[in-house]
Structure 1
Amino acid sequence: MGDEKRELPPIPDRLPVTVVDAHTHLDACGAETAADVAAMVDRAERAGVARVVTVADDLAAARWAAEASTWDSRVFAAVAIHPTRTKEFGVAEQSEVERLARGERVVAVGETGLDYYWDYSPHDAQQAAFRWHIDLAKRLGKALMIHDRDAHEDVLRILDEEGAPETVVFHCFSGDEHIARRCIDKGYILSFAGTVTFKNARGLHEAARIVPCGQFLAETDAPFLTPHPYRGRPNEPYCTAYTVRYLAQLRGEAVHEVAEAVRTTAERAYQLPA
């Protein structure tokens, strides 16, 4: 059993319509070189996950993600400083994030937001950094990719106070039906990770059922949050296919319909070529 837990899940059957993994961390999955990235995305493509957005959470990861997005036409990037790393976020860090965010293949400012679960960064520092990233996304005309953990009310309040960018994506959406409705009313996009497949995630199940077509994405957040029935094993972008199929089951829709919705919403949100 111990060896099995360290193994990647099997690659599922290919989806009938290709999709985008809207949020993954290729470097944390073990990719270092262009060959590593290509192999990982090759596996994803076998499952019908044709493109991925690899996401940064600190400056080193941001530099790597921006560079990795130039190695393979199927890879795009998002850059920001994760809220848990905003204790020291000054002019130098801001200048570097902005420089990287201007990259042609960087499609989002993220992940940014608030995390009240961990205590690595004071709430006031997180909120100041979040406001700065909101402004950057608006200035660059790129999607804002939000990390929201145990901070729903403050995230929504700050978006209202600052004025949200045209495109806001709640990565690994973690709210219930009530929070989902508030986000939907604002036109925000909810991105569902493997957590939506967990049997005890009843609030997420309800949120996934009510979100309209055009306002939801699928993601892995790999190497974390591997979908059921492989929870606890390592995760990779190809596992998006498991989540897409589960979303179709939850919503009572055909897999090809949900996959098409996921792909077209990702193309619009991240300004990807069709």
Structure 2
Amino acid sequence: MIWDTHAHLDDEQFDQDLSAVLERAKEAGITQIINPGHSETSSRNSVKIAGKYDFIYAAVGIHPHNAKDCTENTWELLNRLAQNPKVIAWGEIGLDYFRDLSPRELQQKHFIQQIELANEAGLPIIVHNRDAHADLLKIIKQYRPENGGVFHSYSGSWEMAKELLKMEFYLSFSGPLTYKNARHAVEVAQNVPPDRFLLETDSPYLPPEPYRGKRNEPAHVKLVLKKLAELKGLSLEETARLSTENVKRLFRLA
């Protein structure tokens, strides 16, 4: 079993050929996919896609880019969607100080709010972090996610990773792990405990080598698996087995 734990299948880049994309994923041995939401519309569509395909699961949430668009109705909608049995996480949520598409204070406010909503819903969180390490660490230490979570497409330092591991977070690796300049990601991947890593694509973004510059898709998670296995000195089969066990533990799946 190989999981892609983070793919935006509801992205418009898949509008014309989603069935073919999913077929290629199956042919590559990808058995399950998690589709996180990043807005009201995306969260709705995530649940719809998960309802249509038995091997796809959903997460619901508001990405920091979209924090500026939230209203009281947003939280009512997400709470309602979170009750769907195919919703296994709250995300993708967090902070993004690189693009700053929403005011930072608003990003922080809605990140805290969504941690609390995830706690009420009994769900782990999927965290987006870009250039916001200090503020993000401060928030998750003060507003502890009660059901754990994963830092998706982890790009921070090993020092920060150690802090997150102490708080029992999981770390997920994506296409950039395969890049020649992936110093931080490689160090973290080599040192992360075997019971704390996940695999993802972040499709249609962050394609691994040799697909840089092209659209990413779930089938390519196998290249991330191969690189992680190489870095940890494990077989492909063992790495896939461990990542699957970690997925099931974090998201409480049988």
Question: Which bracket does the TM-score occupy, shorter chain normalised?
Answer: over 0.9
| Local SS of the residue matching 1:87 | helix
- 1:35-93 CA distance string (max 9 Å, x none): x5444322112111100001211111111111110101101111101101101322111
Using the alignment, how far apart are the partners of 2:32 and 2:89 within structure 1? Answer: 15
Deviations 1:144-176 (A, max 9, x none): 000001011111110111122222110111101
Residues of 2 paired with 1:51 and 1:29: CA distance? 21
Give the match for residue 271 of structure 1: 252
2:7 to 24, 43, 56: 24
Partner residue of 2:164?
183
Q: Distance in 2 between matches of 1:145 and 1:192?
A: 13
Give the aligned partner of residue 69 of structure 1. Answer: 50
Q: TM-score by structure 2 length?
A: 0.96
> Does the 8 Å contact 1:29/1:222 carry over to 2?
no
2:138 aligned residue (157, 178, 188): 157
Question: RMSD in angstroms over aligned alpha carbons?
Answer: 1.4
Which residue pairs with 2:216 in the alignment? 235
Counterpart-to-counterpart distance in 1, 2:246 and 2:18: 24
- What is the SS of the residue equivalent to 2:5? strand
The AA in structure 1 aligned to 2:146 is P
Aligned to 1:222, what secondary structure does the other structure show?
A: coil
Aligned length: 254
Secondary structure at the aligned position of 1:23 is classed as coil
| Aligned mates of 1:217, 1:121 — CA distance in 2 | 28
CA distance in 2, matches of 1:149, 1:70: 31
CA apart distance, 1:224: 0.6
In 2, Cα distance between equivalents of 1:31 and 1:71? 15
Q: Distance in 2 between matches of 1:223 and 1:272?
A: 26
1:1-274 correspondence to structure 2 within 5 Å: 18-28=1-11, 30-32=13-15, 37-273=18-254
Among the aligned pairs, what percent are the same residue?
Answer: 35
List alignment gaps of at least 5 residues for structure 2. Answer: none
Q: Which runs of 4+ in 1 moved over 4 A?
A: none
CA distance, structure 2, for counterparts of residue 167 and residue 236 of structure 1:
27
How far does residue 200 in structure 1 lie from its aligned partner after superposition?
A: 0.2
**Which whole-Å deviations, capped at 9, do the CAs of 1:163-196 have from their partners, x for residues lacking one?**
2222211011110111111111111000111011
TM-score (norm 1): 0.89
